[in-house]
Amino acid sequence: MKKIGVDLLYLPPIEFFVAIDGYDTLIIENQDHYQKQTYRNRASILMANKVGDLSIPVRGGNRKVFYKDILIDEDQNWKKLHLRGIQSAYGKAPFFEYVFPDLEAIISGHSDYLFELNLKLLTYCLKFLRVPVNLELTDVYKEKIEIKDIRGKIHPKTSFDRRNIYYPSEYMQLFGLDFVPNLSIIDLMFCEGPNARKIIASSNKKLLNNTR
């Protein structure tokens, strides 16, 4: 069984799915402290005139709070903003009618905790992409683990091209003349539907390097 240690991210970037491709089990870190300004509560989508960030407001996001205990701030109207943004960006996408209803149901549903919501969304994305992996949560934090470990590596402050994971395989996007790489996985799902898995497989930087 090939296992990989991962962080739980909000509608993760395509790079995340490239990194886990070929693994049997995701060991999801469940015992670390929350970190601000990461993909844990932020996802990027392509809008008509820019790349837009969807950010989930949280309560008490300091380093002394475990990620699994971080509460979503429901006093802010984030659900409608996110769903409206996704609908505006991808309403004319080829696979909108197949993807949006499920996303809408999860996002507008009841999830008190950020970790809880992200786990539901990841499970849905894996199912849609037909990625046959098992999900396991850690019961103790270990700084070093004896499996492939990408915890903390996929971070918005560092460009993907500085990591040896993702080499963009371009696909047809809705806006702009230039391809925008490494957006949230939902960009790929809306635009490519069942073909998304092939795009992910063809974006593996290590495999491409080995074939050159």
The per-residue DSSP string of the chain comes to --EEEE---SS-BHHHHHHHTT-SEEEE--SSBP-SSSTTSEEEEE-SSSEEEEE--EE--STTSBGGGPEE-TTS-HHHHHHHHHHHHHTTSTTHHHHHHHHHHHHHS--SBHHHHHHHHHHHHHHHHT---EEEE-SS--SS-SSEE-TTTS-TTS-GGGSSSB-------SS-SS---S-BHHHHHHHHGGGHHHHHHTTBHHHHHHH-
Band (60; pLDDT cuts 50, 70, 90): confident
The rounded distance, in Å, linking the Cα atoms of 127 and 24 is 14
Contact indicator for 154, 16 with CB cutoff of 8 Å: yes
For the cut 60, the answer to whether the pLDDT of residue 207 exceeds it is no
The rounded distance, in Å, linking the Cα atoms of 82 and 74 is 13
pLDDT tens, position by position, 96-130: 999 999 999 999 999 999 999 999 999 999 999 99
* 10-19, 54-63, 177-186: the lowest-pLDDT one: 54-63
125-136 mean pLDDT: 97
- For residues 160, 53, 135, 188, the Cα torsion angle rounded to the nearest 10 degrees is -70
* Total domains present in the chain: 1
Predicted pLDDT of residue 140: 95
82-102 mean pLDDT: 97
Angle at 115 between CA 28 and CA 67, to 5 degrees: 80
Dihedral sign from CA coordinates of 24, 107, 153, 169: positive
The token pair at 164 is 């040896």
Q: What is the pTM of this model?
A: 0.94
CA end-to-end span of the chain: 28
For residue 146, the enclosing domain spans 3-211
Predicted pLDDT of residue 68: 95
146-152 mean pLDDT: 95
Band (176; pLDDT cuts 50, 70, 90): confident
